[in-house]
Amino acid sequence: MAAQASFIGQKNKKEQVYTDPWHMMNEAARTPSFFTGSEVIKEAVRRASCDIMVAYPITPQSEAAALCGELFAEGYIGDYFRGESEFAVMSQCAGAAFGGARVFTTTAGPGTMRAMENFPMWAGARLPIQMIVTCRGINSPLSIQPDTLEIAYLMQTGMLVWHAETAQDFYDWILKGYMVSEEPDVHLPLALCCDGFFVTHTKDMVDLTPVDMCLPPYDPYRSPVPCMDMECPPVRMMRDPFVMKSNYISYATHASWQQEVWAAVERSRKHTIRWMDGLIDTENADADVIVVASGTAVSQSREAIAILEDEGIQVGLVKVKTLRPWPGEEIREATKHAKHIIVPEFNVIGWLAREVRSTVQNNERVHAGPHVCGGMTMPPEIIAAEIKTVLGVKAPSLAGRGG
């Protein structure tokens, strides 16, 4: 931190002042602005002192990659280039991070899946790359509409995985994300996810930090692994005994290495709680029915809860902000009095419900649903109907016209 602190108060080439991140995020005056989610990504990156962005901007899911290209042209990003494919992009991000750069990229849906091999490699190599994931459908038939299935895969990679609800979350968490993921005891990549289209393409009021303030630069000398040492693991992979030898100590090394990645995810809790004011937010947690949701399912649930409140039904809400680290203890505490736990999701498999089921006691309380997928919207009324069904209250069908 000493090296970063030495930059504070100095100016970069765009006349932005390297600012104490806590002051910048929590104390500096904010300006309300009306932006799309993609534009918000651009504004956050403008203030993030990124050294390199690599992009494969074919995806229609977000304009962020192209907008960051404009930032490069304006001089706010050190370097910017287009990879040959999503896989190439993520490999190039790794190269840049191995070399000690602060790296930013974006992807979505099939692009995430194509590049998937890189993500456990990033985590294993302890590279604090930030990747925005504007989730969209991944299966055939393809869809450019939001679907959060790809998050289920990212959660097993050893990356930090956060799920933003709103453009405001997105803005704040991009900047705070670097502060958490670059801590030497964490030093992991961050997949900062949102439900594409809903967050990226719609406009919202977002309070921005001053444009003349930016984060202090990344200090690679605090890294828990040496920068780009071609003779040592993790860069030197194939010639090393992890791969080539079959004996106890080689296995122990590899196993211990994997444990260390997940230990780093655990260590991120302390920093994440400080920066994000907890891993979850709760509303009315004393209610008999609690909705546990992440991403825009939180917004829809909030609307559903308002509908039910008008009918005299009290429902609480748990907004899950981070999926890795998983807020198990927090969810157990927030739902301990609940008779029913409702988990609405924008995907077909219900990965959040699985996680919640494996977390809470008496998990027959967990109701996986409602689910929508393939880009379908989730009207608040279907969440309200699910809750009524669970409570044994008659709810009208929302789609049928029946005779």
Partner 1 sequence: MTTSYRVMPGPEHFLPPSAASMGIRLPDPGQGSIHGTIVTEEEAMEQAARQLLSAKVPTIFPGPLVLWAWNEKAAKKAKAIRYLYETIKESVDSSQHAMLIPMPDYRPKYPKINPEIEINPNHPNLTIWHNKIDACIFVGVHCHQANLSLKIIRGGTNCYTIAMCAQAGHEDAMLSIRDTTADKLIRLAEWVKKLKGSVPPPV
Q: How far is the CB of 229 from partner 1 (least distance, A)?
A: 8
Pairing of strands 31-36, 52-55: unpaired
Site string for partner 1, 271-310 (x = CB under 8 A): ----------------------------------------
Residue 238 CB, nearest distance to partner 1 (Å)? 13
Closest separation between CB of residue 365 and partner 1, Å? 22
Residues 217-246 that bind partner 1 (CB under 8 A): 222-226, 229, 231-233, 236, 240-241, 245
At its nearest, how many Å lie between partner 1 and the CB of residue 79? Answer: 26
Alpha-carbon torsion angle 378, 380, 383, 387, nearest 10 = -170
In the complex with partner 1, the residue whose CB is nearer, 83 or 233, is 233
Residue number, 11 or 245, with CB nearest to partner 1: 245
Residue number with CB closer to partner 1 (14 or 274) = 274
Q: Residue 293: phi, psi to the nearest 5?
A: -150, 165
Closest CA to 261 of 98, 94, 121, 126: 126
Q: Which CB, 60 or 224, lies closer to partner 1?
A: 224
Please state, in angstroms and rounded to a whole number, the distance separating the CA atoms of residues 284 and 282.
Answer: 7
Name the minimum Å distance from CB 272 to partner 1: 13
Q: Does 29 bind partner 1 (CB under 8 A)?
A: no
If the CB atoms of residues 190 and 343 are measured against partner 1, the closer one turns out to be: 190
Residue 144 DSSP class? S
Per CB under 8 A, contacts with partner 1 among 318-337 are: 329
Binders of partner 1 among residues 247 to 276 (CB under 8 A) are 249-250, 252-253, 255-257, 259-260, 262-264, 266-267, 270
Q: Which is nearer to partner 1, 208 or 264 (CB)?
A: 264
Minimum distance from residue 104 beta carbon to partner 1 (Å): 23
For residues 328 and 369, which CB has a smaller minimum distance to partner 1 in the complex?
A: 328
Q: What is the DSSP letter of 11?
A: B
* Residue-level length of the chain: 403
As measured in angstroms, the least distance from the Cβ of 332 to partner 1 is: 11
CB of 103 to partner 1, least distance (A): 18
The C-alpha atoms of residue 38 and residue 61 are separated, in whole angstroms, by 9
What is d(CA 364, CA 214) in angstroms, rounded to the nearest whole number?
Answer: 48
Cα torsion through 197, 200, 202, 204, rounded to 10: 150
Q: How many CB atoms lie within 10 A of CB 79?
A: 13
16, 104, 109: which is closest to 64 by C-alpha?
Answer: 104
Query: CA 186, 192, 195: angle at the middle one, nearest 5?
Result: 155
Task: Provide the angle, in degrees to the nearest 10, between the axes of the packed helices 37-46 and 167-181.
Answer: 30
Torsion of CA 332, 335, 339, 341, to 10 degrees: -90
Nearer to partner 1, 83 or 220 (CB): 220
Among residues 184, 210, 375, 379, which is the contact residue for partner 1, using CB under 8 A? 184
Strand 340-345 with 289-293, pairing? parallel
Scan residues 158-177 and list those touching partner 1 (CB under 8 A).
none
Separation CA 296–CA 312 (nearest Å):
24
- Quote the Cα angle for 330-334-339, to 5°: 140
Size of the site for partner 1 (CB under 8 A): 34
Q: Which of residues 115-134 bind partner 1 (CB under 8 A)?
A: 126
Which residue, among 91, 67, 78, 101, has the nearest Cα to 12 in the 3D structure? 78
As measured in angstroms, the least distance from the Cβ of 97 to partner 1 is 14
Angle, CA of 215, 216 and 222, to the nearest 5°: 125
Q: Which is nearer to partner 1, 241 or 374 (CB)?
A: 241
Instruction: For the CB of residue 186, give the shortest distance to partner 1 in the complex, in Å.
Output: 9
For partner 1, which is the closer residue by CB, 142 or 252? 252
- Interface with partner 1 (CB under 8 A): 126, 183-185, 187, 222-226, 229, 231-233, 236, 240-241, 245, 249-250, 252-253, 255-257, 259-260, 262-264, 266-267, 270, 329
